[in-house]
Chain A
Amino acid sequence: MYFKLFYVVSALSLFSKCLCLGEKDEIQNHCDLLRQWLAPSSVRVELNKKGFHREVTTTVEFRSKELSSVKVLLIHRWPRDVYVDPYQLASLSDQNNWKILLDSAIDLEVPAHKASGFVTYVYPFSTGPTSKLFKVTIPIHGRYHKPSFDGKMLKSVDIEVPELLLRSEKCAQLSSLEPHTVVDAPCTASNSSTCSWVKVKPQQDLNPVSFQLPVGDGSLMAHVCGGTLLVTMICCVALSKYMWKHQVI
């Protein structure tokens, strides 16, 4: 009887060991695939439109084939010279193939020197089963800047290339993907939990894209003040004079 028990137990343990090994193999597979995704991929940033209302288009292209369990995250670190309109983003959300999370409340009206930079987390989802391309277009708006006193009519604004992060639900051993850095970030745009993500090293050091915003000419301050007050005073006096002359008695 004991021999029978011994055979059953060893058979069971052998079977479970096979299962574990099988699972371990699968995890290893997923992690290997993830590593493939980490292979140099291109991140391109383009700026569209002109003036104070622009569009920043980030295009990410992967070398390896698509794997449905891999999630992509783009982290944009925006300067204080620009802002995004959360209400505009919400109204566009049903047309887009991405979801966005902001790290702080945005004041839509404050000038640049009173504002602060902010971070956006963009979670694109793929457009098809075999797509290796992700395209995200974020509308941004320029803030008013302090007037310049050095004759410069335009102020330069730099937009950094976003960080590209990946994670796979089926690969938990991100340490096996060294030397790639592991960072913590929200799992999804609903910000209900934090996950570990792997940062993709950029193909080459990418320079930020930049555009220019007009600024007021501070050197004209005296002329503008004088001119404005003079014209308004003249209008005020003229209007008073005619009202006095044609008053309703």
Chain B
Amino acid sequence: MEKLISKLTEKHFLFTASFVIRLALVAYGDYQDRTMAVKYTDIDYHVFTDAARFITEGESPYNRSTYRYTPLLAWLLTPNIYLNMVFGKILFIVCDVLSGLLIYKVLCLRGLRAETARCVSSLWLLNPLPMGVSSRGNAESILAALVLGTLLCMERRAQRLTWAALLYGLSVHMKIYPVTYALPIALTLRTAEIRVDEAKKVSRFKKLVGFFVGFFNQDLLLFASVAGGVFFTLTALFYYMYGWQFLYETYLYHLTRRDIRHNFSPYFYMLYLTAESTWSQWLGLAAFLPQFALLLVTSWMYYKDLAFCCFLHTAIFVTFNKVCTSQYFLWYLCLLPLVIPNLSLTVKQGLGLLLLWFAGQAIWLGPAYFLEFEGYNTFLWIWLAGLLFQVVNCFILIQIVTHYKPTKTPLRLKAE
């Protein structure tokens, strides 16, 4: 068994095999689309391709209804029209395998042996979920690669800080949620307060001033200017090209999104019932506050371990968000392999938590199916299942937090 695992995770074999399997899935998907009634390709892929087609005709990609992404994605997919429609899928599976490679490199930098790092990376590379998502034509792997690239460069920030800032600015442009990493990154890059002797009494005011002054150091200013520069340049460029519609569809829609249709979020039924009432805005704020508060707490408690902090950030963001679809899970699942080596959970406990997570989804999917495809009024059951799923997610996060043992990386050892 051990021999089999070591053979499977041998470097060249692992990455080649994971790419070949994904390629085979893309080929199969093409076959299924042509021959069967139920299509393999996700509807989103057709949305991207239609938007790319508008671009090739010199028009705005936002002419395609429900295209709510950056124009950059449609521009990247214009070869779908000029060459072959399968180009986008190939791009996504390449980014998927690249994400696996980045996970491997980050794990090595965090002190893992190469063999163990490959074993953990295979949790992503040989995982059917990201395989299926990328081969069906979802663009999540591009963002996973960008976020992991940022984390890798941050691990080597002495030499790669500018690259980290560049990749970070690009990832925030593509999807808003990485903006939550700004606080832990800022806390990581600031000049930490110098530990003084207990005998020397420093006033609280001085401590507070010292804390804020620490944010104005060369590294942080460089990071902020490069990341901010990339983000605002791209925003200005696309605003110039496509106007207000670009700003609305790419950013404002997602920020103000109140999807009253059923989704995994525990807030869905509350928002549906109160959509037309005067309390709607206040309830929206009430839903935002726990999410915001938790992100602040997480940043402060875990910024010293950036990879773990980002994982918690994204998991909390998704769990407490007003809208939650299964696509969002990939945002934190790509960071989970970075966390797993430091967990003191047994394999049995780990699998138990995984099964619990799937069970929580299944309990939600049942009544949701009966509502959408059978026409039964199962709103109350969907609401309760949504609450249960949130409790399950929180329980799993608590288990991860309580069983996490941070690595003593060379950087941290030096500081201590």
- Give the B-binding residues of A (Cβ under 8 A): 50-53, 86-87, 91, 105-109, 111, 144, 146-147, 153-154, 211-218, 220-221, 224-225, 227-229, 231-233, 235-236, 238-240, 242-249
Smallest CB separation, A181 vs chain B (Å): 35
Q: Which residue of A lies closest to B399 (CB)?
A: A242
Binds A, one of B221-229, B241-249, B367-375: B367-375
Report yes or no: A232 in contact with B287, Cβ–Cβ below 8 A: yes
Report yes or no: B316 in contact with A239, Cβ–Cβ below 8 A: yes
Q: How many residues of B contact A (CB 8 A)?
A: 56
**Residues of the B chain whose Cβ atoms lie less than 8 Å from the Cβ of A238:** 394, 398
Report yes or no: B375 in contact with A216, Cβ–Cβ below 8 A: no
Report yes or no: A236 in contact with B375, Cβ–Cβ below 8 A: no
| Bound Cα distance A59, B317 (Å) | 51
Which A-B residue pairs are the 3 nearest by beta carbons? Answer: A214-B377, A247-B301, A236-B290
CB-contact partner of A228 in B269, B293, B302, B378, under 8 A: B269
Q: Which residue of A lies closest to B289 (CB)?
A: A236
Within 8 A of A (CB), among B308-326: 308, 312, 316, 319-320
Report yes or no: A87 in contact with B301, Cβ–Cβ below 8 A: no
A-B contact pairs, 18 of them (CB 8 A): A52-B373, A107-B65, A144-B272, A147-B273, A211-B375, A214-B377, A216-B379, A221-B274, A224-B269, A227-B387, A233-B290, A238-B398, A239-B294, A239-B316, A239-B397, A242-B401, A247-B301, A248-B404
Q: Mark B216-259, 1 if CB is under 8 A from A, else 0.
A: 00000000000000000000000000000000000000000000
Within 8 A of A (CB), among B390-415: 390-391, 394, 397-398, 401-402, 404, 406
Report yes or no: B269 in contact with A50, Cβ–Cβ below 8 A: no
Q: Mark B75-110, 1 if CB is under 8 A from A, else 0.
A: 000000000000000000000000000000000000
CB-contact partner of A249 in B304, B372, B376, under 8 A: B304
Report yes or no: A50 in contact with B277, Cβ–Cβ below 8 A: no
**When A239-B398, A248-B302 are in contact, do A224 and B270 touch as well, CB less than 8 Å?**
yes
**When A144-B261, A225-B283, A243-B301 are in contact, do A213 and B266 touch as well, CB less than 8 Å?**
no
Q: Mark B350-383, 1 if CB is under 8 A from A, else 0.
A: 0000000000000000000001111111111001
Smallest CB separation, A184 vs chain B (Å): 29
**Residues of the B chain whose Cβ atoms lie less than 8 Å from the Cβ of A144:** 260-261, 272
Q: Is B69 an interface residue (CB 8 A)?
A: no
- Give the A-binding residues of B (Cβ under 8 A): 46, 50, 65-66, 260-261, 266-267, 269-270, 272-277, 279, 283, 286-287, 290, 293-294, 297-298, 300-302, 304-305, 308, 312, 316, 319-320, 371-380, 383, 387, 390-391, 394, 397-398, 401-402, 404, 406
Report yes or no: A236 in contact with B377, Cβ–Cβ below 8 A: no
Report yes or no: A51 in contact with B373, Cβ–Cβ below 8 A: yes
| Bound Cα distance A225, B271 (Å) | 9
**Residues of the A chain whose Cβ atoms lie less than 8 Å from the Cβ of B50:** 87
Report yes or no: A242 in contact with B402, Cβ–Cβ below 8 A: yes
4 further A-B contacts with Cβ under 8 Å, apart from A144-B272, A232-B290, are A53-B372, A214-B371, A232-B266, A232-B287
